[in-house]
Every structure is written in structure tokens, then in C-alpha cells.
Amino acid sequence: MMEQNHALIMRVCYMYATDREHLNDLYQETAINLWQGMEKFKGDSKLSTWIYRTTLNTCISYFRKNHRHDDTESLEILMEFPADDSERTEQLREMYRLITRLRKLDRAIILLWLDEKSYDEIAEITGLSRNNVASRLHRIKSQLSQLAQQ
């Protein structure tokens, strides 16, 4: 399960990580929580939804517990971009740089949206209503657009 969902878990963890060490800590905490919670998974939702929600809750809890408030580290350190300097790679770097400036929950919502999750799936994972997800996504996109123009 961990191997099959490694990329999914890493995407959520790096949105909360401040450096590689923190990323590894978050991944390990998530692995422990998934292992311990596996028997509680009832199959009421897709396994990937449960993994997303567990990973997201782990990251938020870890962040609060360890008071990680230093968001100065760039995601470029955490992201493994292609070695080329193509325009697409630069756009991805800029997008992730802007995303790091968002609040934690907004990071999670935009990450899920970028991961092509439906509004209903995002609502289920985050515990928000579908309408709340839609309005937050609209505000997040506007905020990212404003940040990009600064």
C-alpha cells in the first residue's frame, strides 16, 4: 500500500514540510498512522481518499504539535524537477513557490484540485462541504493570481 501510494503521500507531505528532514519526518509519521489505522478502514470510501485524509491529518497534527511555523524553505528543495530549464519546469517552480505562501488548509485544497480530485472528493478528504470547497477554490485561485502579479 505504501509503495503504491508513495507519490500521493509525498505530495501531501511536501506541502507541509519546511525541509527534507521535516519531509521525511512527516512521511514516517504518516506511515505509522496508516499502519495503526488500517484495521479501522471500513471501505466506506476509496482507499486513496482514506490515505489522503490520514496523511493530511497527520501533517496538520504534526505541524501543530511541533510548532513548525518557519515556512521560509523553498519547495524547490523538496520537488524533484527535471534537470532541464524548460519553460514548463520554471512555471512549475513558480506555481509551487506561490502555493507555499498559502495557508495550510488552502495548500491542501489546491493540491487535491491539482491532483484532479473532484469537489466531492476534496470535501470528503478535508471534511468541508462541497460548496465550501468550491468557494475556497475560487478564492485560492484568485489569491494565487494576485500573488503571481506581485
CB contact at 8 A, 55 and 63? no
Q: What is the mean pLDDT of residues 119-133?
A: 91
Percent of all residues in the chain with a pLDDT value above 70, rounded to a whole number: 85
Position 74 pLDDT exceeds 50: no
Instruction: Identify the band that residue 67 occupies on the pLDDT scale cut at 50, 70 and 90.
Output: low
The pTM is what? 0.64
Position 122, amino acid: I
Select the more confidently predicted residue: 137 or 56.
Answer: 137
Chain centroid to CA 12: 3
CB contact at 8 A, 52 and 8? yes
Q: What is the mean pLDDT of residues 103-121?
A: 88
CB contact at 8 A, 15 and 79? no
Show the domains of the chain with their CATH numbers. 1-73 (1.10.1740.10), 84-150 (1.10.10)
Q: What is the pLDDT of residue 85?
A: 58
Instruction: Identify the band that residue 115 occupies on the pLDDT scale cut at 50, 70 and 90.
Output: confident
Q: What is the pLDDT of residue 43?
A: 81
Average pLDDT, the chain: 82
pLDDT one-digit tens code per residue, 51-65 = 988 998 898 888 777
- At 63, give phi and psi (nearest 5°): -60, -45
Q: What is the pLDDT of residue 130?
A: 95
Position 78 pLDDT exceeds 50: no
